[in-house]
Amino acid sequence: MSDNPEISVFNMPPEWAPHARTWMMWPRRGEVWDDIRATQKNYTSVAHEIRDFEPVSMVVHPEDRAQAHSMLGSDIELLEHPIDDSWARDAGPCFLTNEAGERAGVCFEFNAWGQKYTPFDGDNSAAAAILEAAGVPAVHSDLIAEGGGVSVDGEGTILSTESCFPNANRNPDWSRDDIEQELLRKLGAKKLIWLPGNAEETETDGHVDGISVFVGSGAAIIQDPGPSHHHWHDIHAANIEAIEHQTDAQGREIRLFRLPDASEIQVDGADICDSYVNSYICNGAVIMPQYGIRQDGLVREILQEALSGREVISVPIWDIAIGGGGIHCITQQEPLGQRDAIK
């Protein structure tokens, strides 16, 4: 395969397609976390649960290599890169495949969710470093975008939110139509469904992976509005209204599985990720957040129905959630290629 793949023959496979590995990034930006060592322990737990099903590679700042190795052990591969932060879903590449099993990867521009944190140049170059380490050619885009802002079904459909990529803090010179066409071109899709998103969620400006994501052909999970007094009830209701009765690129009406959120864990002044939608599908399993509340069990049952045949594993993530993200935010799947085999 050449270093400049013909992008039109590639598409981003769905998360439930077979993975070669999962990529993660070791926590580093201390200002994000209450206790960064506790956060690193949560990351370690997530990495080891995924490692039971597929290889895991962790990108680490060179200064953190020894510490990361001591906590992760020898079964998690480390890749050194001068990263700034720890959200592999957003700073990592969006991997693509074609019918021949060849792979490519899209490197979107990354500006820390609208320059909310600085510096971010190390994270902006992380996607290219991951692709180089994986031996996968890179395709570059001038669009400022994050992997958490899209969900794909691998059959031509993308979900995204109007509160995110069209935000002036990312792409002030791009129209919504321009953004849509770039996403369709780069990710190999035919239809983009825009949800309103959540402009009140100030960490990511309403990433779709905390609202609604595909979990199968013609199927998606979505955040339920909850009771009328819920602080984001109307926002969640608007997102459901926007996707209800929508058809995907194949003409199928999308079946929705509604998940409650974990809003009862909210702490005044803290921007906590309370979304069970922000779970991660790996080979043979679904890794979901465990908040230690009654909704944990209900969500497990819904995910077992929506993703039948996969083991549903709950992992405590309080010290990740406190930074505004969840399990999906800290992971990025690398699909199997022509010569890959799971080890």
Ordered DSSP codes for 65-90: HHHHHHHH-TTSEEEE---SS--HHH
Catalytic residues, by residue number, are: 329
CA 311 vs. chain centroid, Å, equals: 20
Under DSSP, is residue 178 helix (H, G, I), strand (E, B) or coil? helix
Q: What share of the chain is helix, strand, coil (3-state, %, to 5)?
A: 30, 25, 45
- The pLDDT assigned to 262 comes to 87
Dihedral over Cα of 132, 136, 139, 141: its sign = negative
Stretch 80-84: mean pLDDT, rounded?
98
pLDDT in tens, 168-180: 999 999 999 999 9
- The pLDDT assigned to 268 comes to 55
Stretch 140-160: mean pLDDT, rounded?
98
* Spatial separation of the C-alpha atoms in residues 168 and 147, rounded to whole Å: 18
- The pLDDT assigned to 339 comes to 58
pLDDT band at 16 (very low <50, low <70, confident <90, very high): very high
- Residues 6 or more apart whose Cβ sits within 8 Å of residue 96: 7, 10, 11, 12, 13, 103, 104, 105, 106, 139, 187, 188
Is the previous residue joined to 93 through a cis bond, with omega within 30 degrees of 0? Answer: no
Q: Which class for 141: exposed (0-12), middle (13-18), buried (19 or more C-beta within 10 A)?
A: middle
Q: Is a pLDDT exceeding 80 seen at residue 7? A: no
Contact 279, 327 (CB under 8 A): yes
Stretch 219-240: mean pLDDT, rounded?
93
Q: Is a pLDDT exceeding 70 seen at residue 244? A: yes
- The pLDDT assigned to 100 comes to 92
Contact 261, 285 (CB under 8 A): no
Stretch 25-54: mean pLDDT, rounded?
96
pLDDT band at 266 (very low <50, low <70, confident <90, very high): low
Q: Percent of the chain beyond pLDDT 70?
A: 95
pLDDT band at 209 (very low <50, low <70, confident <90, very high): very high
- The pLDDT assigned to 6 comes to 62
- In the sheet that holds 212-216, the strands lie side by side as 212-216, 219-223, 255-259
Q: Is a pLDDT exceeding 50 seen at residue 313? A: yes
Q: Is a pLDDT exceeding 70 seen at residue 342? A: no
- The pLDDT assigned to 3 comes to 47
Contact 313, 298 (CB under 8 A): no
Please list the alpha-helical segments (H only) found in the chain: 36-51, 65-72, 88-91, 112-115, 121-124, 126-134, 176-187, 233-243, 295-306, 318-321
* Spatial separation of the C-alpha atoms in residues 111 and 341, rounded to whole Å: 34
* Spatial separation of the C-alpha atoms in residues 194 and 92, rounded to whole Å: 23
Under DSSP, is residue 3 helix (H, G, I), strand (E, B) or coil? coil
Stretch 62-78: mean pLDDT, rounded?
97
Q: Is a pLDDT exceeding 80 seen at residue 135? A: yes
User: Quick one: which of 275, 257, 181, 261 has its CA closest to 218?
Assistant: 257
